[in-house]
Structure 1
């Protein structure tokens, strides 16, 4: 993951000779400045297979509007407020039994990936809608460090050492483009919101189309008023639940790289479940510029003979 973090720091654009943020009267840039981190692991449900752990590090800052990649990201309708960000993501996957030093035929392959997502969010609070576009660049394979990371964590925690990472999906590039559209469907302002989302991804990692519903309930700022739940309005406490249906076109964590065929073991296209359901529930606590989130996620089987799976996520977001 080190190359991705170096890329994150380099492209943030905070050098002494950084160019000024480009002026755009048709698409004004929002002032939000956010830094967030999430850590997900299935250990929260006492399992250690399939999606086993993941991390994200996200920066949103007006200065990122100077990145040349902005020209590849859709700006949304005239007058929509623009937010620019970079997200680094790592995820790791294993079969059901990590103690086996051989390929478990019919089970999920070992896989790990890391990528940088350069995204642009076009928000229209008056219309209660938001468009997100993202360009994703990275790699899947041993270069992501999945073997080293899981082995080190298991040694520190005294858990069984994984023995099958030598059979993981080999190195391959990740190049992808993702588009998502959020729309408010119903609301009792400040207490209940029902949101709908449609999303599509065309990528060498994941190619899919999805639709989802999200219900928020509690005490919170309206979803479309700003980019995050942080803000100067004191305490916010709320829960949210979501249900997503996804139509799968390609999954490199199961099938290997699109342009490579040297993987020790992969699943065939015919074994993939083309429709996958995912649900999640979260509790969010926010005070001014600091927000904490705890989420539990469930997903239906992703391949023939596979199991449903659950994991937990903890996240923190800081406004500055």
Structure 2
């Protein structure tokens, strides 16, 4: 079993048996208990290159507040409701042609990573704002299983097997800290919300700063009312769209590990696009304790000579 998923199962068992952490009058802990899974793949747009597939598994539970690493995460202003979560993430990347058994110079390197993100959300419904801080630990390289996963999927589906994974980014640690802030900018008739977003990451995987907008419209519960699925409406059906501009400092999936130099092939720093535009759009359908999401994402070129790219994502969330 993959060590990251073993960690997740251990913490899932811990959270199911542990009593909720006593409420803090300055920073009360929200009662929400959520389990969600997402799967992303560019196959939805009939391509098989660049970001080719990814998965996340997320648990939000009050008992995670017992973990000592919470002290490394910002608590936000007094009175904000605290939520604690653990997310496991895997992503895989390839060049344009996976059938070539050689290094495609000037193209994207093969790369895969997996990491665990312990995060803390500080929500202020009265001010319509939310702060998220996260500590991320994991690894990039063959240990993430990118070669084995893509090969198995392509064999099962009868597609061409990838032949260049032996030239992938080598094993290197991922250590990072991420901070994100969201604020409501406008709302209308309880059916439309416009949010402003800012985010920064300092990591051996991705170092960047970004700003953007999120639009939600339809039958929906207020974004800042709760992290859970319960709210004013038992049924929700809404569309959402995002637009984000990102300033890139470092990208290990293109440049290799920050402190390693044994990669078979990487792109030079001068080949990295330092400004990247990303947009997404999708639909969410939710009823009481169950939610489904379908989203399409587009990104501008990430390196010199690269193409724009699109992929789709499907997700499910269960409150328990």
* Both proteins in one fold, TM over 0.5: yes
Matches within 5 A, 1:150-165: 150-165=150-165
Instruction: Tell me if the contact between 1:114 and 1:138 (Cα under 8 Å) persists in the aligned partners.
Output: yes
Query: SS where residue 178 of structure 2 aligns?
Result: strand
Aligned match of 1:133: 133
Partner of 2:93: 93
- Asked whether the equivalents of residues 292 and 316 of structure 1 are also in contact (C-alpha less than 8 Å), the reply is yes
Report the Cα distance in structure 2 between the residues aligned to 1:15 and 1:243, rounded to whole angstroms.
35
Q: Offset at 1:234?
A: 1.6
1:231–1:318 CA distance, 2 compared to 1 (3 A): farther
Kindly state the Cα deviation for residue 22 of structure 1 after the two structures are TM-superposed: 4.7
Change (3 A) 1:45 1:127: same
Are residues 1:203 and 2:203 paired?
yes
Deviation at 1:9, TM superposition (A): 2.2
SS in 2 for 1:14: helix
CA distance in 1: counterparts of 2:187 and 2:206, whole angstroms: 32
How much has 1:17 moved relative to structure 2?
Answer: 7.7
Secondary structure of the residue aligned to 2:25 is coil
Question: Could you report, residue by residue, the CA deviation over 1:58-81 in whole angstroms, capped at 9, with x for unpaired residues?
Answer: 000011110111000000000000
SS state at 1:84 partner: strand
Aligned to 1:187: 187
> Alpha carbons of 1:15 and 1:243: their partners in 2 closer, same or farther (altered >3 Å)?
closer
Q: In the alignment, which residue of structure 2 is the partner of 1:305? A: 305
For residues 27-69 of structure 1, what are the alpha-carbon distances to aligned partners after superposition, in whole Å with 9 as ceiling and x for unaligned? 0000111000000000000000000000000000011110111
> Deviation per CA, 1:282-313, whole angstroms, max 9, x where unpaired?
10001111000000000000000000000000
Give, in angstroms, the shift of residue 230 of structure 1.
Answer: 5.1
Take 1:148 and 1:107, find their aligned partners in 2: how far apart are those partners? 21
Counterpart in 2 of 1:39?
39
Cα contact 2:186–2:195 (8 A) shared by 1: yes
Provide TM-score, normalisation by structure 2: 0.97
Task: Map Cα deviations across residues 77-100 of structure 1 (whole Å, 9 max, x no partner).
Answer: 000000000000000000000000
Normalised to the residue count of structure 1, the TM-score between the two structures is 0.97
Confirm or deny that 1:292 pairs with 2:289.
no
Aligned length: 320
Q: Summarize the alignment of residues 26-175 of structure 1 with structure 2, pairs less than 5 Å apart.
A: 26-175=26-175
Decide whether the 8 Å contact of 1:184 with 1:196 is kept in 2: yes
Q: Secondary structure at the match of 2:85?
A: strand
In structure 1, runs of 5+ residues without a counterpart are: none
The Cα of 1:5 is off from its aligned counterpart by 0.8
CA contact (8 A) 1:223 1:229 kept: no
**In structure 1, what is the Cα distance between the partners aligned to 2:156 and 2:272?**
35
Q: CA deviation at 1:188?
A: 1.3
- Could you list the structure 1 runs, at least 4 aligned residues long, displaced by more than 6 angstroms after superposition: none
CA contact (8 A) 1:12 1:64 kept: no
Deviation at 1:232, TM superposition (A): 7.1
